[in-house]
Amino acid sequence: MITVFGEGRGFRVVWLLEEMGLPYRLRRVDLLAGVEDDAEFLAINPAGFIPAIVDGDVTMVESIAIMEYLMARYGPTPLAPAPQEADFPLYQQFLHLGEAGLAASIYFVNSARNLAPEPERNNHTARHALETFETRLGLVTQRLARSPYLAGERFTAADISVTYALQLARRAVGFALGEAEQAYVARATSREGYKRAMQACHDTRAWAERAEALAAQGA
Ligand SMILES: N[C@@H](CCC(=O)N[C@@H](CS)C(=O)NCC(=O)O)C(=O)O
């Protein structure tokens, strides 16, 4: 049985597991309360960040690497185009851009805007991180003008990676997505696998509801 430690980017892993129909257990990790006293989790990831997985004698961190591991070990799956398929290069590109270009950048914008002391909020690094997010998002927008999903005609794990990043941007910093990105997120999140993942991930669901309520107040 695969155990997923923590939501956050762990939502990507849960979504993938739901799409693949693999059994798993979700173990809550409360980052807000702090993980100092969570000895079981620290034994899995001494660096203290989420997500992590345990699968038999395999322990891993990094959401994209975990997804690649699961698809390689328990595939083949249509979520991962094979290297000889035409969709493969852009699949690889957007699978990684979803974390390295998008989520990692907006994560630090959130940290600056919502967690830093007031005088440190508007700083060079936070502005640079936002610009990085926006330039990478431009590649997503360009691609969506040509195909419904990032690798091509079919939904893949690259869409799980990028959809999570776009939701993070919207929920954490109120980033206004364009029409094409909004339609894309609606398309990806109408999947049954996404809905099951949202049912399983209580913290993510509560976070999404809070963000929607805040957005409605601002509207
Ligand atoms: N690149 C990593 C990012 C992991 C990450 O930063 N996770 C956040 C929550 S989603 C976290 O644990 N932050 C607390 C920390 O880094 O100590 C991944 O994709 O898994």
- Tokens coding 205: 């669901």
Name which residue sits closest to atom 13 of ligand 1, judged by CA.
49
Name which residue sits closest to atom 12 of ligand 1, judged by CA.
49
| Contact indicator for 13, 67 with CB cutoff of 8 Å | yes
| Contact indicator for 26, 200 with CB cutoff of 8 Å | yes
pLDDT exceeds 70 at position 186: yes
Name which residue sits closest to atom 7 of ligand 1, judged by CA.
50
The pLDDT tens digits for 46-96 are 999 999 999 999 999 999 999 999 999 999 999 999 999 999 999 999 999
* HSE of 118, CA atoms in CB hemisphere, 13 A: 0
Query: Which atom of ligand 1 lies nearest, measured to the CA of 66?
Result: 20
What residue ranges line ligand 1, CB within 6 angstroms? 8-9, 31, 48-51, 62-64, 99
pTM of the complete model: 0.98
pLDDT (0 to 100) of residue 218 = 78
The pLDDT tens digits for 117-161 are 999 999 999 999 999 999 999 999 999 999 999 999 999 999 999
C-alpha 125 to ligand 1 mean position (Å) = 18
- Asked whether the CA dihedral 148, 182, 16, 100 is positive or negative, the reply is positive
